[in-house]
Amino acid sequence: MAVRVYRSIRDLDEALTSARRAGRSIGFVPTMGALHLGHRSLIDRSAADRKSEKGLTVVSIFVNPIQFEDKTDLDGYPRTFEADIALCEDAGANIVFAPTVAEMYPEDFSCFVDTESDATRRLCGRARPGHFRGVLTVVSKLFHIVKPTHAYFGEKDAQQLFLLRKMVRDLNMDIQIIGCPTVREADGLALSSRNKRLSEQERAAALCLRRALEAGRSDAERLRFGRDARAISDAVESAKASMSETVEAESSARLDYAEMLDAETFDAVSETTNRILLAIAAFFGETRLIDNLTADIDFGGNADESQ
């Protein structure tokens, strides 16, 4: 059955009304298009989860202008709508919602979702002021429009996933947020819509991100020797230095950040940390890429990588 494409909020709502009234679950995959196998894995997961209960999978395709602080970056974001529709259909999506900017943001639009916390100011929030304001606003709008029971996001965007879970909890949204593992190329590069903008040389250099994370993880294993503040501080600084040096050794790379945080709180690693997040971002030419891995810390044992 062909995937149905809706451009207006009203038409989408009418299409989903009967499913909601029947109590069918609705899985939702928000995207900005330029879909790749990472997005495909999210759609596949939603479609598989819905199969036994005859639910629906909805995919949104919308390049959200308010999360871009650089208009050049917005204008250069890849748009591959026809290929995206084909991928959605092949993966088992039932509906694609592809609104215009005017549909999502009328001229008198003035309400935004703001969050003020250390989690917002770290990592990508520090490098891209206003980015998460735009992300949380558009996802909140999409949640209210689609009214999904479940929503699927990739773990590559770890900070985004953390903040979306917090938004759902803080605003009492009745939606289950499901994080799905990062999908990688055979050589370890995390899939991203932005990879299409890399030159051959930049694509080769981008492999340093995964190497940097692995180097940081090796240093993070020092945490197994104890929870005292000095040991933790030494391990964190060593991990950050190893990640930074690995990226800076690539002439085509420009480091944005290399950090090690508590994966469950996005606070600094402390004596109570049981799971760490190693996160990195760098520019390759004009293209900014991010990656991360998490590891459970067994004090007195080992650090076990989980992605």
Strand order in the sheet with 275-284: 253-262, 275-284, 287-297, 303-305
CA end-to-end span of the chain, whole Å? 35
Alpha-carbon distance values, 307 to 90, 203, 242, 292 (Å): 27, 21, 19, 8
Beta strand segments in the chain, E: 4-6, 26-31, 56-61, 95-97, 150-154, 176-180, 253-262, 275-284, 287-297, 303-305
Non-local (6+) Cβ contacts of 64 within 8 A are: 32, 104, 134, 135, 138
Is the four-CA dihedral 181, 203, 84, 61 of positive or negative sign? positive
Beta strand segments in 181-302, E: 253-262, 275-284, 287-297
- Whether 144 is catalytic is no
CA–CA separation, 115 and 253 (whole Å): 31
Note the helical H segments in 22-130. Answer: 37-51, 71-76, 81-91, 101-104, 118-121, 123-127
CA–CA separation, 40 and 37 (whole Å): 5
Q: Which of 36, 39, 131, 150 is catalytic?
A: 39
Non-local (6+) Cβ contacts of 224 within 8 A are: 297, 298, 299, 300, 301, 302, 303
Contact 137, 30 (CB under 8 A): no
Residue with tokens 């950090």: 259
Q: Which two three-digit tokens encode residue 267?
A: 């606070």
- The catalytic site residues sit at 39
